[in-house]
Amino acid sequence: MKRLCFLFLIVSAFVACRNKNASNVSVSAQTFVVDANKHTVDSLIMNNNDTAFVVKNKVSDKDMGTKRAVYEIHVMFSNKKWPVLHFKNAIGADLYVAGDLDGDDEPELLLRPEWFNNCWSSINLFSLKEGGWRLVKFGGMYFCADQYPLPARIEKQNEKYYLITDTIINEKFVVDRKEIEF
């Protein structure tokens, strides 16, 4: 009897969901099998409409970046039009959608990879070009006592955009502005 009810439910759902005027919509996205014993997924709310899902390998407390040959994360987005972003040498990430900086109606994205320790990281600006994420500009970032969090790392002056980076020169902390060119 349970099987008959289940079959009736499936057929009813199929008939109810049919629409003779439906148009074909194609959405492609890469799929990952997430093994709860091997992976974790962080969800990051990026703005009112978009969420990112960072798929990463579980890391043991004893691992300081020497247990695996490759540490890589995969960032998937709730916006299915955005492709998966793969990033090596990271065990997690902090993300920020910088908006459309180059006027092509596609977003730019800042990614700060996480590593095992240390307050220094890279800061990476990606632009969505021709169906994939392309690295546009990168630099260093000191994020532990950061006066420039990710949303403040893009600055506009005289119709030009700059990526704010950090470095140490002659034992002094220096903030630099690198022009972003697309």
Tokens for 121? Answer: 């990281």
The pTM for the full model equals: 0.75
Of 144, 148, 78, the residue nearest 110 (C-alpha): 148
Q: Say which residue the tokens 């996205």 belong to.
A: 29
Report the pLDDT value the prediction gives residue 40, as an integer from 0 to 100: 81
Report the pLDDT value the prediction gives residue 34, as an integer from 0 to 100: 72
Of 64, 68, 80, the residue nearest 31 (C-alpha): 80
CB 134 within 8 A of CB 94: no
CB 109 within 8 A of CB 93: no
pLDDT digit of tens for each residue in the chain (182 aa)? 444 444 344 444 433 434 343 333 333 445 667 777 777 888 888 777 888 898 887 776 666 666 666 788 999 999 888 999 999 989 889 999 998 999 999 889 999 999 877 889 999 999 999 889 999 999 999 988 778 899 999 999 999 999 999 999 999 999 999 999 98
Q: How many whole angstroms separate alpha carbon 39 and alpha carbon 53?
A: 12
CB 112 within 8 A of CB 119: no
Report the pLDDT value the prediction gives residue 147, as an integer from 0 to 100: 81
- How many beta carbons lie within 10 A of that of residue 172, not counting itself? 7
Q: How do 51-57 and 120-129 pair as beta strands?
A: unpaired
Counts of helices then strands in the chain (DSSP H, E): 1, 11
Report the pLDDT value the prediction gives residue 115, as an integer from 0 to 100: 85
Q: How many whole angstroms separate alpha carbon 107 and alpha carbon 31?
A: 22
Q: How many whole angstroms separate alpha carbon 39 and alpha carbon 78?
A: 19
